[in-house]
């Protein structure tokens, strides 16, 4: 029989028949056990003793870590269908240890094999996507039906709220939209002018910027800004209301959340996006104008080119798209908010999904518009 | 009743809490002894939770000090503050479990931050804590999947992760059915008896108070201070303050006029 010291007053003996006896003196606490945990558990796992005996005759007390160590050893032995015994334990310590006893079934997470989990994840994602698509279609249908009902009964909409939301989404966003428009116009003109110079066609930089801005970039950039500012705000606002059960309260009061919360936001967004886009377009032209002046064109010539480059069809073609984009951004933002789960992260998730889905939807619908406009000759 | 050793572990001295000119409570003085189940009691809005927040260092009192094991929790900084915080565990009214983590991860978090224990040790410790609160088998559940009572028990398990000497419980019975509430009381008694832990419980649930409390202090929002201290049954039967007797006997208006006597 050999007694080996582990450290910190802990010893073990290897006895006849493969019995491992762990001798504990003093207090079995975090300070003593912490650094020895791995060593003790490894010893039991590696030597696979048919019986582990803990000599607790000289054990004065233990804390949560000490109890956990004894429970770990016991569970390991039980898993291996081997014996575990504690000798000489004082009654109050025995009561304490029994209180924290963990069963072997609870110790390990019952997980499926990796291959099964892979298919479960893929299948789950696929089903989740289809469910989300169904929810979006159903929500679009519900919103469209209620919007058409509003055309017949305009009093159903809370116009006061609508104006306030329009102010937040529109008027408060003029500065950032205009700044972005100016900078995009400036950069686009500057980059194009360099390329155009190779063909001695710098004067047509104005045409390029006007067409690109009025037909595509103006509506897209404005709607990206709206999705980031207002789409996320709508999702966070409605998501918080969902978490606080305010949506449930509306339902139980017989107030339709779509009519009460979604329609004002959609109407406000549809109303303000074309106006914001016009600000964006105007400032982009100013950016282009500044670049053209700096590369040596006279103001009269630049204004003439800017004026002739596009017609009203281009302008309204671009603005018409924004009406659809505005509805999409507000609708998706509200839907994500209404779909929010519970807990602190739910609102953040809803806002993130609103921005991502909103931007993807804008780009996809913009592609559809491009094809339709092509066939219509616009 | 819990065995007390007569040694105070918490001392609240002349604590006054005010927000600007609005005084929530003034001149609060009391001591909590080792192993005691101490209840802070009072009507709605009397400042029970505010006092609890001052005791755990979340809300610095305008005047006075709170000593935990002889150290002032309000002025302590850095390592001293951490040493005091290691001695206490708190269960918040709604549980305050981290929604993005399962129960095992919730309990392992303080162990991961404050100990060098290997992962398997942390997980075993977390499981033993869940066992104590009868949540064994729910290790991988998310907080959102739990009922109110389970969430509170899980919060107690997390508060116990680092073997604190003192557990502060904010309204443990609020929103629970009588059976779940009673189970929670049993759990507090069991932990107090076996672990010799000190409990500071904020509540106004009378059945719970009579079952678990060794001693109570009672706050009154009109006088903004402690109006009674003692064993709950003594206060109910023998208090010379009519409002205190009214409170313990759940009478509506009988002695409301003379409550400050």
pLDDT exceeds 50 at position B221: yes
Residue B116: other Cβ atoms inside 10 A: 11
Q: Is B124 an 8 Å CB contact of chain A?
A: yes
pLDDT exceeds 90 at position A360: yes
Q: Is B190 an 8 Å CB contact of chain A?
A: yes
Structure-block tokens of residue A357: 């889905």
Radius of gyration of chain B (CA): 19
Q: What share of chain A is helix, strand, coil (3-state, %, to 5)?
A: 75, 10, 15
pLDDT of residue B66: 92
Contact assessment for residue B181 and residue B21, using Cβ atoms and an 8 Å cutoff: no
Cα–Cα distance measured from residue A336 to residue A238, given in angstroms and rounded to the nearest whole number = 8
Residue of chain A with shortest Cα separation from B190: A99
A254: closest CA of chain B, how far (Å): 26
pLDDT, tens digit (0-9, with 9 covering 90-100), for A37-85: 888 888 888 888 888 888 888 888 888 888 888 888 888 888 888 888 8
DSSP 8-state symbol, A22? E
Residue B141: other Cβ atoms inside 10 A: 15
Q: Is A100 an 8 Å CB contact of chain B?
A: yes
3-state SS assignment for residue B17? strand
Residue of chain B with shortest Cα separation from A66: B125
pLDDT tier at A3, thresholds 50, 70, 90:
low
Residue B23: strand pairing partners: B18
pLDDT, tens digit (0-9, with 9 covering 90-100), for A254-284: 888 999 999 999 999 999 999 999 999 999 9
Interface test mutation site (partner A, options B89, B121, B164, B167, max chain A beta carbons within 10 A) = B121
pLDDT, tens digit (0-9, with 9 covering 90-100), for B17-75: 988 888 889 999 999 999 899 999 888 888 888 899 899 888 889 999 999 988 898 88
pLDDT exceeds 70 at position B165: yes
Determine whether B221 is exposed, middle or buried from the number of CB atoms within 10 Å of its CB (0-12, 13-18, 19+).
middle
Contacts of B128 in chain A (CB under 8 A): 64, 67-68, 71, 100-102
Nearest to B95 by CA among B175, B174, B152: B152
Residue of chain B with shortest Cα separation from A98: B132
A157-160, long-range: CB < 8 A, 24+ apart: A157/A259, A157/A263, A157/A264, A157/A267, A158/A260, A158/A264, A159/A264
pLDDT exceeds 60 at position A108: no
A236: closest CA of chain B, how far (Å): 17
DSSP 8-state symbol, A262? I
Contact assessment for residue A67 and residue A100, using Cβ atoms and an 8 Å cutoff: yes
User: What percentage of chain B exceeds 70 in pLDDT?
Assistant: 93
pLDDT exceeds 50 at position B258: no
Q: Is A5 an 8 Å CB contact of chain B?
A: no
Which B residues in the span 56-75 are in contact with A, Cβ-Cβ below 8 Å? none
Q: Is B260 an 8 Å CB contact of chain A?
A: no
pLDDT of residue B252: 61
Interface test mutation site (partner B, options A28, A37, A39, max chain B beta carbons within 10 A) = A37
If you average pLDDT over residues A168-188, what whole number do you get?
94
pLDDT exceeds 50 at position B90: yes
pLDDT, tens digit (0-9, with 9 covering 90-100), for A80-107: 888 888 888 888 788 778 878 776 644 5
Prediction pTM value: 0.70
Interface test mutation site (partner A, options B104, B124, B136, B148, max chain A beta carbons within 10 A) = B124
pLDDT tier at B3, thresholds 50, 70, 90:
very low
Cα–Cα distance measured from residue A207 to residue B5, given in angstroms and rounded to the nearest whole number = 89
pLDDT exceeds 90 at position A354: yes
Contact assessment for residue A316 and residue A218, using Cβ atoms and an 8 Å cutoff: no
pLDDT of residue B260: 44
CB pair distance less than 8 Å for B144 and A109 = no
pLDDT averaged over chain A? 88
CB pair distance less than 8 Å for B194 and A38 = no
Cα–Cα distance measured from residue B17 to residue B71, given in angstroms and rounded to the nearest whole number = 19
Contacts of B129 in chain A (CB under 8 A): 64, 100
User: What percentage of chain B exceeds 90 in pLDDT?
Assistant: 23
User: Can you spell out the DSSP letters for A127-166?
Assistant: HHHHHHHHHHHHHHHHHHHHHHHHHH-GGGS-HHHHHHHH
CB pair distance less than 8 Å for A95 and B117 = no
CB pair distance less than 8 Å for B128 and A103 = no
Q: Is B118 an 8 Å CB contact of chain A?
A: yes
B155: closest CA of chain A, how far (Å): 15
pLDDT, tens digit (0-9, with 9 covering 90-100), for A135-166: 989 999 999 999 899 888 888 888 999 999 99
CB pair distance less than 8 Å for A99 and B194 = yes
Nearest to A185 by CA among A313, A320, A279: A279
pLDDT exceeds 70 at position B255: no
Cα–Cα distances (Å) from B44 to A5, A151, A200, in that order, read: 59, 49, 81
pLDDT exceeds 50 at position B257: no
Cα–Cα distance measured from residue B86 to residue B72, given in angstroms and rounded to the nearest whole number = 14
């Amino acid at each position: 029989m050999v007694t080996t010291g582990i450290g910190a007053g802990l010893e073990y003996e290897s006895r006849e028949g493969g019995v491992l006896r762990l001798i504990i003196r003093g207090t079995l606490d975090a300070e003593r056990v912490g650094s020895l945990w791995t060593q003790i558990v490894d010893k039991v796992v590696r030597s696979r003793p048919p019986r582990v005996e803990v000599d607790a005759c000289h054990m004065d007390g233990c804390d949560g870590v000490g109890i956990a160590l004894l429970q770990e050893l016991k569970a390991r032995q039980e898993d291996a269908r081997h014996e575990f015994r504690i000798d000489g334990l004082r009654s109050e310590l025995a009561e304490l240890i029994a209180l924290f006893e963990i069963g072997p079934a609870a110790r390990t997470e019952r997980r499926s094999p990796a291959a099964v989990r892979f298919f479960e994840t893929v299948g789950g994602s696929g089903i989740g996507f289809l469910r989300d698509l169904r929810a979006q279609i159903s929500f679009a249908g519900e919103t469209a039906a209620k919007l058409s009902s509003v055309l017949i009964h305009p009093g159903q909409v809370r116009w006061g709220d609508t104006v306030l939301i329009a102010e937040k989404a529109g008027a408060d966003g003029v500065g950032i939209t205009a700044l972005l428009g100016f900078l995009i116009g400036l950069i686009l003109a500057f980059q194009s002018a360099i390329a155009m110079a190779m063909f001695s066609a710098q004067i047509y930089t104005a045409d390029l910027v006007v067409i690109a801005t009025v037909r595509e970039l103006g509506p897209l950039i404005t709607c990206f800004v709206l999705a980031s500012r207002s789409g996320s705000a709508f999702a966070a606002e409605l998501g918080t209301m969902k978490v606080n059960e305010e949506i449930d309260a509306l339902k139980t009061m017989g107030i339709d959340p779509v009519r009460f919360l979604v329609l004002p936001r959609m109407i406000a967004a549809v109303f303000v996006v074309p106006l914001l886009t016009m600000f964006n377009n105007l400032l982009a032209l100013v950016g282009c104008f500044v670049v053209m002046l700096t590369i040596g064109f006279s103001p009269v010539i630049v204004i003439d080119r800017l004026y002739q480059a596009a017609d009203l069809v281009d302008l309204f073609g671009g603005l018409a798209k924004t009406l659809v984009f505005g509805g999409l951004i507000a609708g998706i933002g509200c839907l994500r908010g209404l779909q929010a789960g519970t807990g602190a992260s739910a609102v953040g998730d809803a806002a993130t999904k609103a921005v991502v889905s909103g931007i993807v939807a804008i780009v996809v619908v913009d592609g559809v518009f491009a094809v339709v406009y092509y066939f219509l000759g616009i | 009743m819990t065995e007390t050793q007569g040694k105070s572990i918490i001392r609240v001295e002349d604590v006054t809490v005010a927000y600007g000119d609005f005084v929530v409570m003034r001149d609060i003085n009391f001591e909590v002894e080792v192993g005691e189940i101490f209840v802070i009691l009072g009507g709605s809005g009397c400042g029970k939770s505010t006092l609890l927040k001052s005791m755990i260092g979340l809300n610095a009192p305008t005047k006075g000090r709170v000593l935990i094991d002889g150290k002032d929790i309000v002025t302590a900084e850095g390592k001293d503050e951490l040493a005091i915080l290691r001695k206490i565990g708190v269960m918040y009214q709604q549980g305050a479990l981290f929604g993005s983590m399962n129960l095992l991860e919730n309990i392992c978090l303080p162990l991961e931050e404050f100990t060098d224990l290997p992962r398997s040790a942390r997980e075993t410790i977390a499981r033993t804590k869940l066992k104590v609160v009868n949540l064994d088998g729910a290790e991988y559940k998310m907080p959102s999947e739990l009922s109110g009572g389970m969430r509170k028990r899980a919060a107690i398990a997390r508060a116990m992760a680092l073997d604190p000497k003192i557990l502060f419980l904010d309204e443990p019975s609020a929103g629970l059915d009588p059976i779940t509430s009673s189970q929670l009381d049993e759990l507090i008694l069991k932990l107090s008896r076996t672990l010799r832990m000190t409990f500071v419980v904020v509540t106004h649930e009378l059945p719970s108070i009579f079952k678990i409390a060794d001693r109570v202090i009672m706050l009154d929002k009109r006088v903004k201070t402690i109006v009674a201290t003692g064993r709950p049954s003594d206060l109910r039967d023998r208090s010379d303050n009519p409002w205190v007797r009214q409170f313990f006997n759940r009478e509506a208006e009988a002695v409301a006029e003379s409550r400050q006597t």
